[in-house]
DNA sequence: TATTGTTATACTCTATAACTATA
DNA sequence: TATAGTTATAGAGTATAACAATA
């Protein structure tokens, strides 16, 4: 292993990854894909994708939030959120209520069914977390990663 | 800050992120988005996206590779790679040559123009890396992250 | 029969722009 | 005039399936 070119443990092939082995964006992307695939697999019984889960979490913890505030909190476009909420509302997991003070705005809430789905999701997330702990080399490594990445979790 | 709910430094709003603050998949995803956006911004003069850059790197370091081997090395579908290579071949950066031993297969190579583009990309990647070092809290944090994530960079 | 590359389809996600109804 | 939500479009990326040529 050199300073530029990190060796991976590849048994079947002898691919030279060059600078990619030390490229944070590259390894970050592939790690993230692994985590999301495990998340989706684990969440199959509830048919919840990561983005949908994060919407349920934020609404649960911040009931009455507007769509703009929700989109901003999650770092997604408000246009993208509309589709996400349409799907979740069709499934009766979330509810758009008219906002008291501003008739343009919606106050987002989980339905009782949405609360139950979230509770079930949290159980499965615990299972998923165990898989991640294993895959990332134990709780210490997991916590180190979360600590080093936490600043990206919320805007500003 | 509790064990469950990490506080972010949010000035303008008071969003409760609940378990997302400690969710590796969530912070991994948002960190990865930041890095890719900075990569794309930095690479604007060359109009190279992360996936395109990674294809150039692997071909440069493993000339003659088949499409199957290339897709496998990068962890993408071979069907997806076809489109990627079509675009890069249209721009005369890569070349599909007939493979000597197997007439179904292509041997991938960079053109001289592709080699020059990659050299320019490596310069810009150095700039991008400096931005990442800053954003992730210095070289120590950067190296720790790469080390903890490196196992995902290559299959198996 | 199996594999390489290709085409096609469907869905998710990102990024914009423009529209409506309210403010 | 600005903002909240919506609609529409284009492109990237993921996941499949099926096909032709070749092994």
pLDDT exceeds 90 at position B11: no
A34 vs B107: CA distance, rounded Å:
29
Tell me the average pLDDT of chain B: 91
Contact B30, A152 (CB under 8 A): yes
Q: How many domains does chain B have?
A: 2
For residue A155, tell me if it sits in a domain. no
Q: What are the angstrom distances between the C-alpha of A139 and each of A5, A32, B78, B116, B150? A: 28, 17, 35, 44, 17
Q: Which residues of A touch B155 (CB under 8 A)?
A: 10
Contact assignment for B136 to A24 by CB distance below 8 Å: yes
- Token pair 């509830």 is found at A46
Q: Does pLDDT of B141 surpass 60?
A: yes
* Nearest nucleotide from residue A105 CA, by C1' atom: D4
With a cut of 60, say whether residue B48 has pLDDT above it.
Answer: yes
- The distance of A29 to chain B (nearest Cα, Å) reads 6
What is the rounded distance in angstroms from the CA atom of residue A28 to the CA atom of residue B42? 18
Provide the domain limits for residue B130.
47-141
Residues A103 and A30 occupy one common structural domain: no
Give yes or no: residues A85 and A19 share one domain. no
Q: Which of residues 1-30 of B touch strand C (CB under 7 A)?
A: none
Which tens digit of pLDDT belongs to each residue from A45-74? Answer: 999 999 999 999 999 999 999 999 999 999
pLDDT at B13: 54
**Same structural domain for residues A31 and A101?**
no
CA of B108 to C1' of C3 (A): 18
Is A35's CB within 8 Å of B24's CB? yes
Q: Say if residue A65 is in the same domain as residue A101.
A: yes
Does residue A128 sit in the same domain as residue A54?
A: yes
Name the residue among A20, A35, A86, A142 with its Cα closest to residue B39. A20
pLDDT, chain A, mean: 91
Best to test chain A binding among B3, B25, B115 (most A CBs inside 10 Å): B25
What pLDDT does B8 receive?
43
Terminal Cα-to-Cα distance of chain B (whole angstroms): 37
Contact across the interface for B28 and A33, Cβ inside 8 Å: no
Assess if residue A18 is contained within a domain: yes
Q: Supply the pLDDT for residue A13.
A: 53
Higher-pLDDT residue of B5, A20: A20
Query: What was the pLDDT predicted at A5?
Result: 38
CB contact under 8 A, B152 and A20: no
Looking at the partner chain, which of A65, A72, A148 has a beta carbon nearest the beta carbon of B136? A148
User: Does residue A153 sit within a domain?
Assistant: no
pLDDT tens digits, one per residue of B61-109: 999 999 999 999 999 999 999 999 999 999 999 999 999 899 999 999 9
Does position A7 have pLDDT exceeding 70, yes or no?
Answer: no
Contact B53, A23 (CB under 8 A): no
Distance measured from the CA of protein residue A107 to the C1' of nucleotide D16, in angstroms = 39
pLDDT of res. A156: 60
Token readout for A104 is 């343009």
Task: Report the DSSP pairing between strands B106-110 and A94-98.
Answer: unpaired
Q: Are B150 and A7 in contact (CB under 8 A)?
A: no
**For A101-147, how does the pLDDT look when each residue is reduced to its tens digit (9 = 90+)?**
999 999 999 999 999 999 999 999 999 999 999 999 999 999 999 99
Is B56 within 8 Å of B121 (Cβ atoms)?
A: yes
Regarding whether A65 and A14 lie in a shared domain, the answer is: no
Residue B3 has pLDDT above 90, yes or no: no
Å separating the CA of residue A103 from the C1' of nucleotide C21: 9
For residue B156, tell me if it sits in a domain: no
Identify the CATH number of the domain in which residue A114 sits. Answer: 1.10.10.10
- State the count of interchain CB pairs (< 8 A) between A and B: 200
Which token pair is B72? 């496998």
- Percentage of residues in chain A with pLDDT exceeding 70? 90
**Which residue pairs, CB below 8 angstroms and at least 24 apart, start in A97-106?**
A99/A64, A99/A66, A105/A66, A105/A67, A105/A68, A106/A66, A106/A67
Q: Is A8 left (phi over 0), alpha (psi -120 to 50) or beta?
A: beta
Residues A82 and A139 in one domain: yes
CA distances from B72 to A71, A85, A139, B56, B99 (A): 35, 36, 30, 15, 18
Q: Are residues B87 and B19 in the same domain?
A: no
Residues A120 and A55 in one domain: yes
Chain B residue at shortest CA distance from A26: B153
């Amino acid at each position: 292993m050199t300073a530029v070119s990190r060796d991976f443990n590849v048994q079947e092939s002898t691919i030279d990854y060059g600078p990619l082995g030390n490229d944070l964006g590259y390894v970050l992307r592939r790690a993230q894909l692994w985590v999301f695939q495990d998340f989706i697999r684990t969440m199959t019984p509830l048919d919840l994708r990561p983005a949908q889960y994060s919407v349920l979490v934020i609404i649960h913890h911040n009931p009455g939030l507007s769509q703009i505030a929700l989109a901003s909190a999650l770092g997604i476009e408000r246009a993208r959120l509309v589709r996400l909420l349409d799907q979740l509302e069709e499934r009766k997991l979330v509810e758009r209520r008219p906002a008291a003070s501003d008739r343009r705005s919606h106050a987002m809430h989980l339905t009782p069914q949405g609360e139950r789905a979230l509770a079930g999701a949290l159980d499965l997330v615990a299972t998923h977390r165990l898989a991640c702990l294993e895959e990332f080399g134990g709780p210490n490594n997991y916590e180190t990663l979360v600590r080093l990445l936490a600043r990206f979790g919320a805007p500003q």
